[in-house]
Amino acid sequence: MIIAESEADRNADEISLKGDYKLIFPNGSLDRMWAYEEFIEAAQAEWNDFTTGKSRRKVPFAEKRVNQDL
């Protein structure tokens, strides 16, 4: 229930702040929303591969910080 409320608040904020831009997500069509969600997930995966490489282990920020202090 809390997630739904925060999503509703976020959506209301985005609608009020969009200005002349067109809101593309969330959309009234569930098919379009799922397609956009899949696109975003694929883009995030590609970005992670590009910036960190596929062979590198993803290290949480806190763990990096501990290792740097040693």
Tens digit of each residue's pLDDT (9 = 90 or more) over 11-68: 888 888 888 888 777 677 888 888 888 888 999 989 988 888 765 556 565 555 555 5
* Nearest alpha-carbon partner for 60 in 68, 12, 25, 70: 68
pLDDT at 66: 53
Token pair in block for residue 24 = 């593309």
pLDDT at 68: 55
Locate the domains of the chain by residue range.
2-69
What Rg, from alpha-carbon coordinates, does the chain have? 18
Residue-level pLDDT at 29: 80
Q: What is the DSSP string of 6-45?
A: HHHHHHHHHHHH-TTSPP-SS-S-HHHHHHHHHHHHHHHH
d(CA 47, CA 14): 25
Indicate the pTM of the whole model. 0.45
